[in-house]
Amino acid sequence: MADDLQKSCDAILQRTVVEKPGVPGVVAMATDRRANIYEGAFGKRRLDQPAEMTSDTVFAIFSTTKAIAATAALQLVEEGRLDLDAPAETYLPEIGKLQVLEGFDESGQPRLRAPARPVTTRMLLLHTAGLAYDFFNEDYHRLAEEHGQPSVITASKPCLMTPLLFDPGERWEYGSNIDWAGQVVEAIAGKRLGAVLQERIFNPLGMTSTAFSLSPEMRGRLATIHQRQADGSLDPLDFELPQDPEIHMAGHGLYSTVPDYMRFIRMWLDDGMGEKGRVLRPETVRMAVQNGLGKMKIKKLPGIVAWLSNDAEFFPGMPKSWCLPFMINDEDAPTGRPAGALGWAGLANLYYWIDRQNGVGGFWATQILPFADPSSFGGYMAFETAVYDSLVSRAAA
């Protein structure tokens, strides 16, 4: 069965790269609670250069950073140092300065008011605080275009000082919430987020190629981000996140490898245990993966900035919730992923899932913009489906 999984997934990676339009290269892995059950790499790190994708290729992992930073917040909850339901300004006064955007006046100026209630760290982790991204929200895009609101990719303090779109806790809106949660972690820990993650998560998990800044050795293994053109072709981009950022952006700032991220996925599959020590208590893991939205559901992400993202949604038409670190699919997915499984993605077409029920998870890494690229996402869906098909075949054998 292992050979069948290897063959089927290898074929999916190869097909995703060579079909038109394809991708420059992809690294994908699947794991059970103990070890990888599939590892594959195919294609190029950069289309106009000879270096091949390999299992240790370094990627800008964008929003797959979020769950790692959320894990650090959960560790502080375990230690009694962070109350998720206390006002976040208790730990970080700056967040108390954010006001609610009620629209724009006749001259185009933002109309702001005080929020009805304070933002809590729970709201930040659940994406219900009222914060957004300019590439997924029209009002934030207007603030950027007409009022010079800095992009989150600047990794600067001003980029976080955005208004709330609604009173905290009223609905789900995907945005810079986890960046603020990372600042809460820093304020409590008294260290930069990168140091916190290194000590508390990367070391016990054995994640040796994950950081907010590229070491020379990591840079030598770095994959290039490519831009999908209107005719389907791909052009390499000279794009890089800030290497000495003012803010360690908990929402998108990490570089990593697929093997490193598999160690993180295995920790969640194995009730918080890492290869070199415990990261979370089992009871914390069980608490963290429960739906935190109640009757609210997450929504499709509209591609407001076309070069950065297409319209994006996992399993359209299926209800989806959010727990403290992850999206939850509320019904069985067509790939074989069961109801209650976890997952999310990163802007440059990186995707992962974590199925604690069956003890399996996987990660698919490419470096392409815009997000929700049909070739990349289609390859990922085929990959996930192949893993579940293998589980069904193994059970029937």
Contact (CB, 8 A) for 103 and 111:
yes
Can you give the C-alpha Rg of the chain in angstroms? 20
Alpha helices by DSSP H, listed for 115-274, are: 121-126, 138-147, 157-160, 177-189, 193-197, 203-205, 216-219, 258-269
Contact (CB, 8 A) for 175 and 168:
no
**DSSP letters spanning 344-357:** EEETTTEEEEEETT
Q: Which helix (H) or strand (E) holds 329?
A: strand 327-329
Contact (CB, 8 A) for 173 and 130:
yes
The dihedral formed by the CA atoms of 141, 147, 153 and 158, expressed in degrees to the nearest 10: -130
Contact (CB, 8 A) for 260 and 64:
no
Coil vs helix vs strand at 72: helix
Strands 226-228 and 368-369: parallel
Record the tokens describing residue 154, joined without a space: 């600047």
Q: Which residues are catalytic?
A: 63, 66, 174
Q: Which helix (H) or strand (E) holds 54?
A: none
Sheet with 36-43, strands from edge to edge, namely 36-43, 25-31, 360-365, 350-355, 342-346, 327-329, 320-322
